[in-house]
Amino acid sequence: MSLRLYAFWKSSASWRVRIGLHLKQQPFELVPVNLAAGADQHTAEHAARNPMRQVPVLEVSPGCYLSQSMAILAWLDKTFPEPRLFPEDPLWLARALQLAETVNSGIQPFQNRSTVLRLEAHGIPSAPWVTEAIVAGLQGLEGAARETAGEWLVGDALSIAEVFLIPQLFSARGYGVDLSPYPTLLRIEEKCAVLPAFIAARPEVQPDAL
Ligand SMILES: N[C@@H](CCC(=O)N[C@@H](CS)C(=O)NCC(=O)O)C(=O)O
């Protein structure tokens, strides 16, 4: 199967999918979509792949495009079951989704480039607003993780919770957020940092890194 990933090196949602692909050891062709200077996400070609004009998009067969990192990761997990990222047990699955969704719907949309541009178009300085949203989200995430974590964020197995956590911590640092109040999240980040799949997915080693 030949997979093609449309992504931007700095995009946290693209980063999640890169982690998933590397964990599943699936080779893929990377097609950079420059969200910054080129605003490539707004071209007609990209809008045809994803009407939301966002990355990531995974082309799973010629002309068959998946968007939304959670949906892409769910497809990957069903298609390439090892290592499992969506726990089988209903309660553990709900816990993993709870943590991943805290990032996906509770933090990242507030820091997204289009949100920042919209705030600024309305004359609202974006940085303090985004930072507040990140801090509130990380507090929620740390609180939940203290309940669910074992060796990893959800019990003793790596899951989508880590896949969503790692890019979010990087974005938080970009906004100068103090991460010391989140020891559980930092402990897990340290464990992920030495795994080859997480290393290969880092933004600075992507071919389109500026
Ligand atoms: N929930 C979506 C979020 C996708 C998203 O927000 N992508 C950002 C980059 S991280 C994007 O493409 N932004 C384009 C823009 O803001 O113009 C997912 O998980 O895939």
Q: Hey, what domains does the chain have and what are their CATH numbers?
A: 3-82 (3.40.30.10), 90-196 (1.20.1050.10)
pLDDT digits (tens, 9 = 90+) for 152-178: 999 999 999 999 999 999 999 999 999
pTM of the model: 0.97
pLDDT digits (tens, 9 = 90+) for 43-71: 999 999 999 999 999 999 999 999 999 99
Collapse the DSSP code of 31 into the 3-class scheme (helix H, G, I; strand E, B; otherwise coil) and give the result: strand
pLDDT digits (tens, 9 = 90+) for 32-41: 999 987 789 9
The rounded Å distance from CA 151 to ligand 1 centre is 30
Rounded to whole angstroms, how far apart are CA atoms 99 and 95? 6
Q: How far is CA 31 from the centre of its chain?
A: 17
Cβ atoms 48, 63 nearer than 8 A? no
Residues at CB less than 6 angstroms from ligand 1: 11-13, 35, 41, 54-56, 68-70, 104, 112-114
Please report the pLDDT score of residue 210 as a whole number.
76
pLDDT digits (tens, 9 = 90+) for 67-83: 999 999 999 999 999 99
Q: How far is CA 147 from the centre of its chain?
A: 22
> Looking at ligand 1, which atom is closest to the CA of residue 115?
16
The residues, any chain, with a CB within 8 Å of residue 178's CB and separated by 6 or more, are none
**Which one, of 73, 11, 45, 40, lies nearest residue 206 by Cα?**
11
Please report the pLDDT score of residue 184 as a whole number.
98
Residue among 6, 18, 55, 101 to mutate when testing ligand 1 (max atoms within 8 A of CB) = 55
Cis status of the peptide bond prior to 128, with omega within 30 of 0: no
